Structure 1
Amino acid sequence: MANKIAQLSGRLGFDWFILSIIGVIILASQYPGPGIAEGPFSISWLANIGVSLIFFFYGLKLNRNKLVAGLSNWRLHILVQAGTFILFPLLLLVLKPLLNSGETQVLWLGSFFLAALPSTVSSSVVMVSIAHGNIPGAIFNASISSLMGIFITPAWMALATGGDHDHIDMSDVVKKLLFQILLPVVVGLLLNPTRLGKLAEKYNKQLKYFDQLTILAIVYTAFSDSFDQHMFSTLDITELFLLGACLLGLFFVAYFLIGSIARLLHFNREDAITATFCGSKKSLIHGTVMAKVIFMGSPLMGILLLPIMLYHALQLIAVSIIAQGMARKYKTGS
């Protein structure tokens, strides 16, 4: 029975990481003290170091030759990046007059932050592989999306808030962006051809665990601050379910719009799968670490992270089901 439950949870995307995120949120609600502590070797201090290391390891794993070789399928790349960085933000801007007021303002800002994020790398490639899509195209687009997001996400947030918002000081964001995120990526990318790049590829699984542990630390500190400041006192379970439903609707709107454009452009089956999967997914890793840079310790950061965490779980469930259905059709030749 336990094995069946574990298998079902795995198919729906509820792995140990998602369950751990739920766990640290509960922990933060009961014991916020360690999460709000400051100083050397505090959880917040370690999380800041972890952010730079995540992007250093990301650059270290990027193979420049493979990226250059993947440039040829330009129609696929344009559609994926347009879906990721243009379609999503425009969908949220349409909703701004309805949601950007009162108690819903913070949730809209968090949802727009989600919309401005790059696509996720690992799960996009895995799901494209399951559905028998264009795997090299998925790797290329997810990698390029992550690099572009370093610049595009903060730019969208500045545009959405007019560059002057209670939670965003763009001058500090730019400095942190350069030294905490961009510089580590560049250093890692330059070191990719060396032995360090080979070691990063060899121990990719272990580095993924490091990424996830850093995210858990960031989530814990963010929610500890929010709970300590009683930021969730105005939110109830109904609003959370409504937010989840809206985010699931956002996923399917983006998924079907990108799929429709792929059909209009006469993409083959493999490219269409890659376009819809990569273009409709958002990166929890980049969302969490970039939130720490962009929102810089705001007590609202916990609430601002809610949309990306909900979307992450929902997109895994939805895409897992879709990918498995496509795999069955591929095997039967239908």
Structure 2
Amino acid sequence: MVAFQTALNDEVIYWVRQQGFMLLLCAAVLMAFVWPQPGHANAVGYADLAADLSVALIFFVQGLSLATKKMLAGSRPVRLHVFVLGWNFILFPALASLLNAPMSFLLGQELCMGFWMLAILPTTIASATALTAASGGAVPQAIFVSILSNLLAVLLVPLLAVAYLSHASGADVSLFPVLIKLCWLVLLPLALGQCLRRSCRAWSIAVSQRARWLPQVAILYIVYLSFAQTVSSGVLTTLSIGRLLTVLCGVLLLLLLVSGAVWRSSGLINLGPGERVAAFYAASQKSIATGLPLLTAVFAAASLPWDTGLILVPLIVYHPLQLLLGGILVPRFNERA
């Protein structure tokens, strides 16, 4: 009995460590409901400045930790990268648009907009690479295409987001302020991190390894602030349990549809088993690490009339579900290998 209890405790501790970020993400959302004061109008200026600094910190640390030579090792085959990028920025948004049509009768404009914003985001870097490695897949290819997707997203996400926001609002949303803000918050910190990595390689590697927790803390803060502003605005009081369940079911359906379509279509382009696993994870996942800062910068520069916290709800829901599905599929992919 004692041995069983010890084993059970070890399993619980292991699960908590594996799902630590997901649990903290849920805690950040709950904290916004308990302590929404930073979202009040009087505190928004300081909170937005802190959010901007958090975004810059995320990309600075990514620049420090980005191994250029390792990334270039996975540049072949080209068809794998075209396949993943096509799903990231074309086919995924197309499926989301089809799903949005029937859900528009059940959800408000902000939540439907959130599905579209989720669909145009790049793939994950850390999760896609880690799940590919755990599944016996082609890790260099996963690294290369996931980084390429995130770099392209710096240009594509603002273009697609501004075009959609202009159409949805009927207003003229200028792209120039968005790009300027993204240059300050994304490109400049990323380039600075890369320059420091090239000039002070040993120091930058040591700092990036010790600061791996900083981007996660920054993401948690951005999530907390977004929901705190949502709670303070009183919009959630108009959001029923039924609409929340609809969002959850819609996100789950979108994840399963995309995952199934990605896996089946990846068998049509003559990829090896390991390359097919890398293509699956990179094409079906969406990055909260890159996507949330990009969307935050776009929303801030565009001065939207809607509640941005509600727009982020589908992304917040999709992130833990994709990790859960990826973890479930790891042993299945290993069996195939």
- Would the TM-score normalized by the shorter structure come out above 0.5? yes
Q: How do 1:208-287 and structure 2 match up within 5 A?
A: 208-287=212-291
Q: Which amino acid aligns with 2:328?
A: I
Q: How do 1:124-143 and structure 2 match up within 5 A?
A: 124-143=128-147
Q: How do 1:170-181 and structure 2 match up within 5 A?
A: 170-181=175-186
Q: Deviation string for 1:297-330 (max 9, x for gaps)?
A: 7661211111111100000000100012222454
2:164 and 2:288 mapped to 1: Cα distance? Answer: 20
1:31 and 1:191 mapped to 2: Cα distance? Answer: 38
The residue that corresponds to 2:4 in the other structure is none
Query: Are 2:181 and 2:297, in contact at CA under 8 Å, matched by a contact in 1?
Result: yes
Q: Which amino acid aligns with 1:269?
A: P
| Matching of residue 59 in structure 1 with residue 66 in structure 2 | no
Q: Pick one of 120, 123, 132 that aligns with 2:124.
A: 120
Q: Which amino acid aligns with 1:17?
A: F
Q: Deviation string for 1:90-132 (max 9, x for gaps)?
A: 1122234334468422111111111111111111111001110
Secondary structure (helix, strand or coil) at the match of 1:119 reads coil
Using the TM superposition, give the Cα deviation of residue 188 of structure 1 relative to its aligned residue in structure 2, in angstroms.
Answer: 2.3
Q: Pick one of 311, 314, 318 that aligns with 1:304.
A: 311
Q: Pick one of 174, 194, 212 that aligns with 1:189.
A: 194
Change (3 A) 1:45 1:181: same
Q: Pick one of 2, 7, 20 that aligns with 2:9.
A: 2
- Identity within the alignment, %: 26
Q: Which amino acid aligns with 1:5?
A: V
2:44 and 2:238 mapped to 1: Cα distance? Answer: 31
1:23 and 1:63 mapped to 2: Cα distance? Answer: 32
Q: Which runs of 5+ in 1 are unaligned?
A: none
Change (3 A) 1:70 1:33: same
Secondary structure (helix, strand or coil) at the match of 1:18 reads helix
The residue that corresponds to 2:152 in the other structure is 148
Q: How do 1:76-87 and structure 2 match up within 5 A?
A: 76-87=80-91
2:147 and 2:202 mapped to 1: Cα distance? Answer: 17
| Matching of residue 327 in structure 1 with residue 327 in structure 2 | no
Using the TM superposition, give the Cα deviation of residue 187 of structure 1 relative to its aligned residue in structure 2, in angstroms.
Answer: 2.5
Q: Which amino acid aligns with 1:311?
A: Y
Change (3 A) 1:238 1:58: same
The residue that corresponds to 2:111 in the other structure is 107
Q: Which runs of 5+ in 2 are unaligned?
A: 1-7
Secondary structure (helix, strand or coil) at the match of 1:193 reads helix
Q: Which amino acid aligns with 2:331?
A: Q
Query: What is the TM-score normalised by the length of structure 1?
Result: 0.88
Q: Pick one of 49, 52, 56 that aligns with 2:53.
A: 49
1:59 and 1:211 mapped to 2: Cα distance? Answer: 12
Secondary structure (helix, strand or coil) at the match of 1:127 reads helix
The residue that corresponds to 1:313 in the other structure is 320
Secondary structure (helix, strand or coil) at the match of 2:238 reads coil
1:272 and 1:175 mapped to 2: Cα distance? Answer: 37
Q: Which amino acid aligns with 2:308?
A: M
Q: Which amino acid aligns with 2:25?
A: I
1:102 and 1:294 mapped to 2: Cα distance? Answer: 26
Change (3 A) 1:43 1:209: farther
2:214 and 2:39 mapped to 1: Cα distance? Answer: 19
Change (3 A) 1:233 1:116: same
RMSD: 2.4
1:7 and 1:60 mapped to 2: Cα distance? Answer: 29
2:172 and 2:220 mapped to 1: Cα distance? Answer: 22
1:191 and 1:206 mapped to 2: Cα distance? Answer: 16
Q: Deviation string for 1:153-203 (max 9, x for gaps)?
A: 1111123233673796533212211221122222222333121x4434334
Using the TM superposition, give the Cα deviation of residue 62 of structure 1 relative to its aligned residue in structure 2, in angstroms.
Answer: 2.3
Q: Deviation string for 1:230-264 (max 9, x for gaps)?
A: 11122223322221222122122222222222211
